[in-house]
Amino acid sequence: MPTDPLRCAGALIVDDDGRIFIQRRSPDRTLFPNCWDIVGGHLEPGESVEEALRREVVEETGWTVSQLLGQVGEYSYTGDDGLVRVENDFLVRVDGDLSRPRLEEGKHTEFRWLAEHEVSLLDEHRGINDGLIRRIAEEGFAALRSIGR
């Protein structure tokens, strides 16, 4: 087993109404099946966090990052596979048709735009990593408020 944590990048994609894009992982996924999640994934060899962030947004939604609004946080967690990951998450704006993401085939089954008052939806799987995805969303909304959207 590797001793260094795996590195990940995550995007809290924001729309003009101050909502954050979330997508449901497919039930066939090894890691966190059927859970709501933000866009993101593992860094590839030699890739920076920002490069991974931009690549993952294209792969998972078909959109392109137009603006990096700021870092939300760095999170450490252990996946269902027992491996430790360190994830850097950022608020971003994207270019593309926000009503029609191109969800990555076989990896995600649905999406929605989450308003701040709807974060309790993320409690659906609150037992996973102590509700990490809700905490990330709450911190994303707080960061969004601090920059004035």
Q: Considering the domain boundaries, does residue 73 fall inside one?
A: yes
The model's pTM: 0.93
Show the domain range for 45: 6-146
pLDDT per position as a tens digit, 102-142: 999 899 999 999 999 999 999 887 666 678 899 999 999 99
Separation of alpha carbons 78 and 67, rounded Å = 30
Which residues make Cβ contacts (< 8 Å) with residue 100, sequence separation at least 6? Answer: none
Does residue 119 lie in a domain region?
yes
| CATH number, domain with residue 91 | 3.90.79.10
Report the distance separating Cα 27 and Cα 37, nearest Å.
Answer: 13
The tally of domains found in the chain comes to 1
pLDDT tens-place string over residues 33-44: 999 999 999 999
User: Per the domain annotation, does 15 fall within a domain?
Assistant: yes
For 23, phi then psi, to 5°, come to -140, 150
